[in-house]
Amino acid sequence: ARNKICEWPGCEAAFKDMSALNVHRTIHLGLRDCVCEYPECGKAFRTKGALTVHYETHKPVKKYACSWSACEQSFSTRSSLKAHLNKHEGNRAFKCPFDDCQVAYYGPNYLRKHYQKVHHKTMDQVKQMMANTDANA
pLDDT digits (tens, 9 = 90+) for 111-135: 888 888 888 887 777 777 777 666 5
Let me know if residue 137 belongs to a domain.
Answer: no
- Report the length, in residues, of the chain: 137
Burial 5-38 (b: 16+ CB within 10 A, else e): ebeeeeeebebeeeebbebbbbbbeeebebebee
34 and 51 share one domain: yes
SS3 content of the chain, % helix, strand, coil (to 5): 45, 10, 45
| Residue 44 · residue 34 · CB < 8 Å | yes
Structural domain containing residue 122 = 92-132
36 and 75 share one domain: no
Q: What's the half-sphere exposure (Cβ side, CA atoms, 13 Å) at 44?
A: 18
Let me know if residue 75 belongs to a domain.
Answer: yes
10 and 46 share one domain: yes
Let me know if residue 18 belongs to a domain.
Answer: yes
85 and 104 share one domain: no
37 and 2 share one domain: yes
Please state, rounded to an integer, the average pLDDT across all residues of the chain.
Answer: 85
Predicted model pTM: 0.55
Let me know if residue 9 belongs to a domain.
Answer: yes
Q: Which pLDDT tens digit goes with each residue over 13-51?
A: 888 888 888 878 877 777 778 889 988 888 888 788 889
Q: What is the CATH number of the domain that holds 33?
A: 3.30.160.60
Indicate whether 86 pLDDT > 90: yes
